[in-house]
Amino acid sequence: MQASIANSIVAALQQVLGVQSAALHEPRFGGNEWRYLKECLDSTFVSSVGKFVDRLEADLADYTGSAYAVAVVNGTSALHIALMLAGVRQGDEVLLPSLTFVATANAASYCGAVPHFVDSEIATLGIDANRLRQYLSDKTEMTSGLCINRETGRVIRALVPMHCFGHPGDIDGLLAVARDFNIVMVEDAAESLGSWYGHRHTGTFGKLGTLSFNGNKTITTGGGGAILTQDLELAKLAKHMTTTAKQSHVWEYSHDMVGYNYRMPNINAALGCAQLEQLPELINAKRRLYQAYEEAFAEVAGVELFREPAGSQSNYWLQTLLLSEDNKDQRDAILSATNTLGLMTRPAWTLMHRLPAYEGCPRMASLSVAENLADRIINIPSGSALGMGLD
Ligand SMILES: *Cc1c(COP(=O)(O)O)cnc(C)c1O
């Protein structure tokens, strides 16, 4: 019994991948990367100015349907600035899932705010909007139009859903909660470039949304990120704040507020332009990989491949196995067996409310769904290159 589910999972992975080893998520450079990088070097504009930054921003806005996109140095800084622009200040609370990458909580902390952890749902792996509504009804009161946590007395200023492993969350449900409690929604869409909720791209529903182009994401700029917004004033401020708040002038260095050096270098943007051109092809390959895994894992008892939520189209950033309840105790044996063979697999992140930096933060009394998911999730090799040869 013990060995069998691990062996069956290894066999299914090998059936699909046809190789003895595979990384969790490798980038793929199959387009104009070399050409644009050369062009960038030849121009000598490799750093904080250059045409590729403007082009990447225009191309991202075009692809996502966002009115504006501002390229920045990574996804964490994108979220930091987005939260500041959403009005998050020292002493505020920011609602976010405990089941997320640490960057979501860190960005709130950088604003001097306190992360406030909420539970997830099985259907989307994102925040459970119904339980959040009930929780806020029980634990908060509206004072002068602000949602106040009765226990801490702090303002709950923002809600940050995270589209987990690329799967869109319950956006309508969460938008309704945000509206009813006068909380600003900012989407952490770091993992969901190329994922659509209905006909609209993730990251374009909140007041602001953020993307990441880290090396392990669906497309990469080496390191990078972007802020999405529909609001021209916010877009201008995002650009200003991420470029040291320098006032435009031919020779003078003057800065009208505390700014940040969060600008994406032109050389990274050059890589991003080439990557973005290939995004539809990369996502098709990732969706084919999902199909192949689905067939292979249909034969494996005790484990299920996570499928995109109804009404959404996912980029399948990280393919996800969910162990059945009675196989939860096999998680580490499976991780060990696969990694030993060079088939890279990973569990979900350590939940935020269990990290030393965040264990004292306010949270729902029960985070049982997130805790259960953390016991059952195993991410398997997901890079687009693995799906390229599949039909
Ligand atoms: C990748 C990621 C980020 C941003 O990460 P960077 O490495 O700073 O680009 C933020 N949130 C989540 C959930 C992520 O997965």
330 and 184 in one domain? no
Q: Which atom of ligand 1 lies nearest, measured to the CA of 79?
A: 10
* pLDDT value of position 333: 96
* pLDDT value of position 1: 45
Of 11-20, 115-124, 178-187, 201-210, the poorest mean pLDDT is in 11-20
Q: Which atom of ligand 1 lies nearest, measured to the CA of 100?
A: 13
Average pLDDT over residues 379-387: 95
The model's pTM is: 0.97
Average pLDDT over residues 298-322: 97
- The Cα 200–Cα 192 span in angstroms is 12
Average pLDDT over residues 179-194: 98
Q: Is the pLDDT of residue 2 over 60?
A: no
Q: Which atom of ligand 1 lies nearest, measured to the CA of 74?
A: 9
Cα angle, residue 98 at apex, residues 141 and 64 outer, rounded to 5°: 95
Q: Which atom of ligand 1 lies nearest, measured to the CA of 104?
A: 11
Q: Give 117's strand partners.
A: 96, 363
Cα-to-centroid distance, 212 and ligand 1 (Å): 6
Average pLDDT over residues 242-251: 94
230 and 137 in one domain? yes
Q: Which two tokens stand for residue 139?
A: 């634990």
Q: Is the pLDDT of residue 164 over 70?
A: yes
Name the residue with the closest Cα to ligand 1, atom 2.
Answer: 190
Cα-to-centroid distance, 81 and ligand 1 (Å): 14
The total number of structural domains that make up the chain: 2
Most informative mutation of 188, 318, 352 for ligand 1 (most atoms within 8 A of CB): 188
Most informative mutation of 110, 162, 188, 212 for ligand 1 (most atoms within 8 A of CB): 212
Q: Which amino acid makes up residue 27?
A: P
Of 244, 277, 310, the one marking the end of a domain is: 277
Cα-to-centroid distance, 224 and ligand 1 (Å): 10
Q: Which two tokens stand for residue 380?
A: 């398997």
Q: Give 188's strand partners.
A: 162, 210
Q: Is the pLDDT of residue 4 over 90?
A: no
Cα-to-centroid distance, 14 and ligand 1 (Å): 29
Most informative mutation of 109, 186, 191 for ligand 1 (most atoms within 8 A of CB): 191
> Quick one: which of 61, 78, 45, 74 has its CA closest to 266?
45
Q: Which atom of ligand 1 lies nearest, measured to the CA of 162?
A: 13
Residues with CB under 6 A from ligand 1: 74-76, 100-101, 103-104, 162, 188, 190-191, 212, 214, 225
Q: Which atom of ligand 1 lies nearest, measured to the CA of 101?
A: 13
- The Cα 97–Cα 109 span in angstroms is 15
260 and 125 in one domain? yes
Cα-to-centroid distance, 349 and ligand 1 (Å): 12
Residues of the chain with pLDDT > 90: what percent?
96
Tell me which residue has tokens 């729902």.
364
Over residues 349-360, the pLDDT tens digits come to 999 999 999 999
Question: Residue 287 sits in a domain of what CATH number?
Answer: 3.90.1150.10
* pLDDT value of position 3: 52
Of 277, 295, 319, the one marking the end of a domain is: 277
- The Cα 110–Cα 278 span in angstroms is 34
Q: How much is the mean pLDDT over the chain?
A: 97
289 and 247 in one domain? no
Q: Give 318's strand partners.
A: none
Q: Is the pLDDT of residue 48 over 90?
A: no
Domain residues for the domain of 257 are: 33-277
285 and 273 in one domain? no
> Quick one: which of 159, 136, 140 has its CA closest to 148?
140
Q: Which atom of ligand 1 lies nearest, measured to the CA of 224?
A: 9
Average pLDDT over residues 309-338: 97
132 and 244 in one domain? yes
Average pLDDT over residues 276-294: 97
346 and 302 in one domain? yes
